[in-house]
Structure 1
């Protein structure tokens, strides 16, 4: 279901009655999607989250199904959602690694929305002048930090996915994530995240493996109007490794073989596995850098014969 930032959602009694931190919207309101996003991010509004879930999914239960399907598609192997807002519920689980996958894809796939996470204060007109400050204390302490999201329940403790953009000694303007789960207080999670970010930028090198749009591999394509297609990423492929360890990086590409047309530009096709001293470091999806249309009957028949003879 496609929505716009200007589209309005109604506030259901269920959303209005949400427990925990809130945006303080009520059922008399029709709230624009953009304001609900700000209320969810800046104020950690469980009411805003529920209004968005119901507006997009029809029901919160269906939206949770959508969340779990998306988590699976992203490779978040140890995450199970039971509700949209993140309150404690049996079986509602995630991990630091899965949160790193989600945060990375959020920033890569939706860069236009990253700015919302740096907003320090927000209050929707007509709501009480309370709870309007972003709980990410690093936004107020470190000018290089521009997100991302806090969380807290009694069961999970104080949690933070923090992101900063600074220069590595050998590479300018690179972003790192720091994830803290189960801290004892708001200040403790901020301090631990700050330590992780500082350590990441001083003890690691940022290594650019491939430029934006550069083919990592250009395999043969069968049954298409083109005989080859470049596989890569729209963004530069950069990894962080301990200082002095760049020479131990190795890469391996896994993909379907044979690769068959049609292929659409930006269609995920393969996976780049990055190893550091033979140990897995990260896996990065590779997409088709151009469209390959299906060949005509004669071309498809010839390639079918070629594949049969291989």
Structure 2
């Protein structure tokens, strides 16, 4: 049987950057490493040395908190559990929660001690409580990170304390931040709390963007001499959420100002647009030997696009079917693909699926259709 190729232009006038890197708008940064991600579509709006391994200092504690939240969700730990403070935890230097040697501290307090106060001592208490030792916890962190797809991350401790084999990348941290926000929404509120008092000592959240009215509701700062000043931040405006990772800045002020500038740019220069809803017909696909001549093609999930406000023109979206779809057609079966092309964007292909069932013709109908094809060479 001769097979025909069908391609139908279905949309013009939008620019797509779904799960890709948007390159239309440009900006630079003083940070050594940076990545700005639109979580709505998984689109990278900006990156600089995003896959360069770097010391992550206290931004490593995002992974520590991922492990803690996962343990709570799995029932291996609870907010009301208490964990003992070892001498190792008590003696930790740097930022501290000021735990007391030998005391037992509620997990919920330890979480605030890590997230708000960036407590190295609290991080070690949680690590030892979950894995028996900080060394074992670091091994567990690395293994879990690999399972999450953080291919360029390795953890030697729970705090981000400098170590030549303790590193991550801006891209890995952005993925980790997204996973934590999506998987543990019931615990994410800790990151927006601006202060916490423990042992009579009140400390403010070290995230400087929480104190600016720009939509930031988390996540974690970091600083060591070798790493410079870093920040993983997340901001939400309307239905959009951006995740930003910067590292290698030369001061606290530069970290705050540069992070705010990049987030503002991301919200200003780009937007997310709904293209198709799941189940909405995109195009009619031709059917061979079916009771219906065509079947509506649709997308399996809502299709939202992130695009530069200056690059909304020039998009070409094409529904492609390599051949008539043979009946019977089952709803949900992939029957084609949606090809999205635009200047300065990588071509994307989205599966098109059948929106409904199409039964096969009866025996006499199939004979008639085959006869028409032999006479005319067409499946119509």
Same fold (TM over 0.5): yes
Q: Does 1:103 align with 2:177?
A: yes
Indicate the residue corresponding to 1:222 in structure 2. Answer: none
Contact 2:86 2:102 in 1 (8 A): no
Kept in 2: contact 1:165–1:173 (CA 8 A): yes
Shift of residue 84 of structure 1? 1.0
> Does residue 46 of the first structure (1) align with residue 111 of the second (2)?
no
After superposition, the CA RMSD in angstroms is 3.0
Larger mean CA deviation between 240-249 and 184-193 belongs to: 240-249
> Which residue of the other structure, out of 247, 250, 255, is the alignment partner of 1:189?
255
Query: Which ranges of structure 2 fall in alignment gaps of 5 or more residues?
Result: 1-70, 281-298, 319-339, 349-380
Q: Work out the CA distance in 2 between the residues paired with 1:238 and 1:39.
A: 38
Distance 2:267 2:173 in 1: 20
Which one of 89, 95, 102 corresponds to residue 28 of structure 1?
A: 102
How far 1:281 moved relative to its partner?
A: 9.7
Is the Cα–Cα contact under 8 Å of residues 209 and 239 in structure 1 kept in the other structure?
A: yes
Between the aligned partners of 2:315 and 2:130, the Cα distance in structure 1 is 46
Residues 4, 33 of structure 1: 8 Å contact kept: yes
Distance 1:250 1:6, change over 3 A: farther
Once the two structures are TM-superposed, the CA of residue 241 in structure 1 deviates from its matched residue by 2.9
Higher relative contact order (CA 8 A, sep 6+): 2
Question: Tell me, what secondary structure is at the counterpart of 2:187?
Answer: helix
**TM-score of the pair, normalised by structure 2:** 0.56
Are 1:89 and 2:160 matched, yes or no? no
Going from structure 1 to structure 2, the CA distance change for 1:142 and 1:8 (only over 3 Å counts) comes to same
Would you say the 8 A contact 1:76–1:98 is kept in 2? Answer: yes
Q: Tell me the secondary structure at the aligned position of residue 187 of structure 1.
A: helix
Larger Rg: 2
Q: CA deviation at 1:35?
A: 0.7
Q: TM-score, normalised by structure 1?
A: 0.68
Structure 1 unpaired stretches of 5+: 167-171, 217-230, 252-273, 283-310
Map of 2:206 onto structure 1: 135
Any idea what SS the aligned residue of 2:186 has?
Answer: helix
SS of the residue 2:245 aligns to: strand
Equivalent residues of 1:16, 1:25 under 8 A apart: yes
For 1:115, what is the secondary structure of its paired residue?
A: helix
Rounded to whole Å, the distance in 2 between the matches of 1:56 and 1:97 is 27
Query: In structure 2, how many angstroms separate the alpha carbons of the residues matched to 1:116 and 1:29?
Result: 23
- What's the counterpart of residue 193 of structure 2? 119
Return structure 1 stretches of 4+ with deviation > 6 angstroms. none
Q: 1:33 to 1:215 in 2, by over 3 A?
A: farther
Aligned length: 236
